[in-house]
Amino acid sequence: MSTGSIKQAIETVREVSGFTLLIDVEVRSEVEADEAIDAGADIVMLDNLEGEELYAVARSLRQKWAGKRKFLIETSGGIEENNLKERAVNDIDILSTSAVHQSVQHIDFSLKIQLPKEGESGASSAV
């Protein structure tokens, strides 16, 4: 949902959703993460942050919001089997990747049903 502001988007979703819905907000910076947390996001996805920048932002958010708001931190973008351990740190709650389905060859499956022609065995006039 694009409303021009993270806060407005979260408020709009809260107005029309039930209490069981978790709101996951994708952010690109600590400033955007702060806005999302302040507005009540349940999960903040630090998208495409890596290495020291990711660790520093996650640590800063945990310290800054300790005792004020409950939220989960998710990391996404560029996660593959060879760098998974680098992202599995204490300040990160969720690791998400699209590599599992984006790198797979697609197979076109279809199910075509042909009814037997009149006069063939098993034919029925009522279908």
CA 28 from centre of chain: 14
Contacts 24+ apart (CB under 8 A), 4-13: 5/35, 6/32, 6/35, 6/36, 6/39, 6/41, 7/35, 7/38, 7/39, 10/36, 10/39, 10/40, 10/41, 11/39
pLDDT of residue 73: 97
With tokens 């199910």, the residue in question is: 111
pLDDT of residue 101: 65
CA distances from 42 to 30, 55, 57, 116 (A): 16, 19, 17, 55
Q: What is the pTM of this model?
A: 0.73
Dist. CA 72–CA 45, nearest whole Å: 8
Using alpha carbons, select from 93, 58, 95, 90 the residue that is nearest to residue 80. 95
Low-confidence ranges of the chain (pLDDT < 70): 1-3, 99-104, 121-127
pLDDT tens-digit series, residues 80-104: 778 888 888 889 999 987 766 666 6
Tell me the HSE value of 111 on the side-chain side, using a 13 A CA sphere: 0
pLDDT of residue 3: 57
pLDDT of residue 127: 47
